[in-house]
Amino acid sequence: MKKMKVPYNYLNQQFDVDGTLVREILSDIKELVRTGEFTLGPQVREFEEKFAQLCGVRYAIGINSGTDALILILKALGIGPGDEVITAPNSFIATANVISFVGARPVFVDVGDDYLINHLKVERAITSKTRAILPIHLTGNPASVVCISEIAKRKKLYLIEDSAQAIDASVDGRKTGSWGVAGAFSLHPLKNLNVWGDGGLVTTNDSKLAEKIRLMRNHGLVSRDVCAMAAGNCRLHTIQAVVGLRLMPEVRRVSEKRISNAGIYNSLLKNVNGVKLPPRFSNVREVYHTYVIQAERREKLQKFLEHNGVETKVHYPTPIHLQKPYLELGYKKGDFPVCEAQAERILSLPIHQYLTSDQIYYTANLIRRVYGYSEM
């Protein structure tokens, strides 16, 4: 098997400085410079409208990051000191941090084999202080929103979706970001829909919540000289909306290519002892922000792949409840055994839309070799 490079990061391919896409984006930015509408220019509203259509919701509000999108949702719903928010302990640290940042307490619930919050355990975590459930659509795979939304309605709690990794994902044909009172999305450069820096959006069908978040992202200003509330500056930069508008038509193609790539991996790795694939469900459209396997002797496998030109990542090696801020809240090792066991085994393989089938076969066959299987 001839050695080849299989990069995890694809940005230099997506944004080839001599390519058509970059030229088109720079041309659009040049037009923006002509107008001087750098702050909440018309491109922001156009991008919001198209994103709302993509998610099947009435409103999308451009925010400067997915993290601030979550913060504004929590604040707009009045969640703060003395409140609890239920979430999972295996995400990027931002999900728990935003809960702590507004003064509330994150209450973690262990995950299932699919890396998603275990809906069967959510109800047991509800107390008189619980105000919201915040499931994470990790890896681009929607959480069990049908069951969780039923629990939230019955218990009169807010359902807030962390959809940062799940643009264009859906359950029963209904998009992520449309199931709860609000959803938070990220446009980070390594997301499936990405921009040239940080960016995010809030989605909702609640007109009053949408209006409140629009005020909160822009100093509470009703107009240039009239302020309705004390608030900060969390606006989506117009330049990022310009980039997003160019890339929006590619979202479906990007999703389909990642789904296709995952299908090849699945077929090559499904019967390999030592490798565990998460379960897949026919009613779920998973968009594979990441493709995560569980591997025995992960470090050995990762080093072997690296030696042979394949870049991989671990998302995430330390569960949130074992990070310093949450150990200080009383969490400890052993609290969430499924999450902790997965953290020792998970490995993210390259999955992006610029991979060739040869690169996927090469990667999968290297993995097969490690576990004593012949090439396919």
Domain CATH for 52 = 3.40.640.10
- The answer to whether residues 282 and 242 belong to one domain is no
- The answer to whether residues 180 and 317 belong to one domain is no
Is residue 313 in a domain? yes
pLDDT of residue 279: 87
Is residue 19 in a domain? yes
- The answer to whether residues 179 and 265 belong to one domain is no
Helix (H, G, I), strand (E, B) or coil at 3: coil
Q: Which residue, of 221, 249, 277, is where some domain finishes?
A: 249
Q: Which residue, of 215, 249, 283, is where some domain finishes?
A: 249
Is residue 7 in a domain? no
CATH assignment at residue 264: 3.90.1150.10
CA 156, 157, 163 angle in degrees (round to 5)? 140
- The answer to whether residues 267 and 235 belong to one domain is no
- The answer to whether residues 241 and 254 belong to one domain is no
- The answer to whether residues 188 and 258 belong to one domain is no
Helix 20-35 / helix 238-247 crossing angle, nearest 10 deg: 140
Is residue 115 in a domain? yes
Q: Name the pTM for this structure.
A: 0.97
* Count of the separate structural domains present in the chain: 2
Is residue 1 in a domain? no
In the sheet where 284-285 sits, what is the strand order? 174-175, 170-171, 284-285
**Alpha carbon distance, N-terminus to C-terminus of the chain:** 11
Is residue 9 in a domain? no
Q: Which domain holds residue 244?
A: 14-249
- The answer to whether residues 50 and 197 belong to one domain is yes
Contact call for residues 278 and 114 (beta carbons, < 8 A):
yes
- The answer to whether residues 204 and 270 belong to one domain is no
- The answer to whether residues 216 and 262 belong to one domain is no
Is residue 85 in a domain? yes
Q: For residue range 54-90, what is the model confidence (pLDDT) as tens digits? A: 999 999 999 999 999 999 999 999 999 999 999 999 9
Residues of the chain falling short of pLDDT 50: none
- The answer to whether residues 122 and 196 belong to one domain is yes
Closest CA to 319 of 162, 108, 71: 108
CA 8, 14, 15 angle in degrees (round to 5)? 120
Is residue 2 in a domain? no
- The answer to whether residues 146 and 228 belong to one domain is yes
- The answer to whether residues 234 and 259 belong to one domain is no
Residue 230: count other Cβ atoms within 10 Å of its Cβ. Answer: 8
pLDDT of residue 1: 85
Q: Which residue, of 232, 249, 266, is where some domain finishes?
A: 249
Contacts of 163 (CB under 8 A, 6+ apart): 137, 169, 176, 177, 183, 184, 185, 203
